Amino acid sequence: MEILFLEPIFKERIWGGQKLKKVFNYPIKDKPIGECWAISGHQHGSSKVLNGPYEGMKLDDLFSNFKTQLFNNDPSDRFPLLVKILDANDDLSIQVHPDDQYAMTHENDYGKTECWYVIDADEDAIIIDGHYALTKQEFIEKIKQNDLSLWKTRQIKKDDFIYIPAKKVHAIGKGSLIYEVQQSSDTTYRIYDYDRKDDHGKKRDLHLDKALDVIDLPSKDIDVDVKFINHESYDLYHYIKNEYFELTRVDVKQSFVLKTHKYQLCSVLEGHGYVNNHEIKKGDHFILTGQERVEEIVFKGNMRIMMTQRPYESYV
């Protein structure tokens, strides 16, 4: 088993801020940085390996060339997942993502099912999580009238978890710091963008026609059954398992032993410690490579770790 540390990629966004520097001490530019692509093999930004025998390789190339050796011979034709941290210093556009079938046909990209863990949020932070329209015509009419009653809004707070499958209308509100796990896709259809303009005085493009092709009608509310395990050495929160990914948060109080042979995407959101005697700290992102046989991977310290794997097995 290899531990591959990755170099994050930072994306300037009109809604971004400086929390990625303030909270994680990332060396970002003095610009509105909205996204940290922490673990990415996407063509619009692929992470670079920082250590070991694969040092300097990009994750997309690593996946293509060593899929069998390192990634359990994952059936995907490209690296399947993307892990981000989002700094919403302003409201994100109200948007929707297509499913795999539509995205592959129209964008040559994966669809985008995603989920959010709220690292932190202002007291009045909200998200948009669906809409109230029952028909496409009702949706169009309310959009034309700029009728904000169309949107389902709710407040969020630190440690909340939100699941956003493809085709669900959504938006992150300002004052939120979000950890996101998603399919490896960069396809977004904007529905509403608050009539704001970029640095060149130009409004960002909207994609209402494509959005109307894919939105769920009516919008479905989704309940998530978070499973919690309290142990004297750790607390474990199992958030979601779908056809694309399985996400678990582990708050290590002393130690945690992970028994698996599947590759894992890991992020340290708080604290400091060790994984198999390799030092890890807040803001680190790394991949534990896959193996033929189940191995014990030992975490020690005091830290919060997010772990994502493909949905082939549960944590043991």
316: pLDDT confidence band, cut at 50, 70 and 90?
very low
Q: Is-catalytic flag, 190?
A: yes
State the SS3 of 138-180: HHHHHHHCCCHHHEEEEECCCCCEEEECCCCCEEECCCEEEEE
First to last CA, the chain: 17
Mean pLDDT of 175-199: 94
Structure tokens at 98: 């297509």
In this prediction, residue 195 carries a pLDDT of: 86
In this prediction, residue 315 carries a pLDDT of: 36
What are the structural domains, with CATH classification, of the chain? 3-214 (2.60.120.10), 227-309 (2.60.120.10)
In this prediction, residue 127 carries a pLDDT of: 98
pLDDT digits (tens, 9 = 90+) for 71-88: 999 999 999 999 999 999
H or E element at residue 152:
strand 151-155
- What value does the mean pLDDT of the chain take? 95
312: pLDDT confidence band, cut at 50, 70 and 90?
confident
Q: Which of 190, 249, 304, 310 is catalytic?
A: 190
Half-sphere exposure of 123 (CA within 13 A, CB side): 0
- Give just the sign of the alpha carbon dihedral 154, 158, 163, 168: positive
In this prediction, residue 197 carries a pLDDT of: 83
Whole-model pTM: value is: 0.95
199: pLDDT confidence band, cut at 50, 70 and 90?
confident
Mean pLDDT of 126-148: 95
Mean pLDDT of 276-288: 97
Mean pLDDT of 78-101: 97
Q: Letter for the amino acid at 155?
A: Q
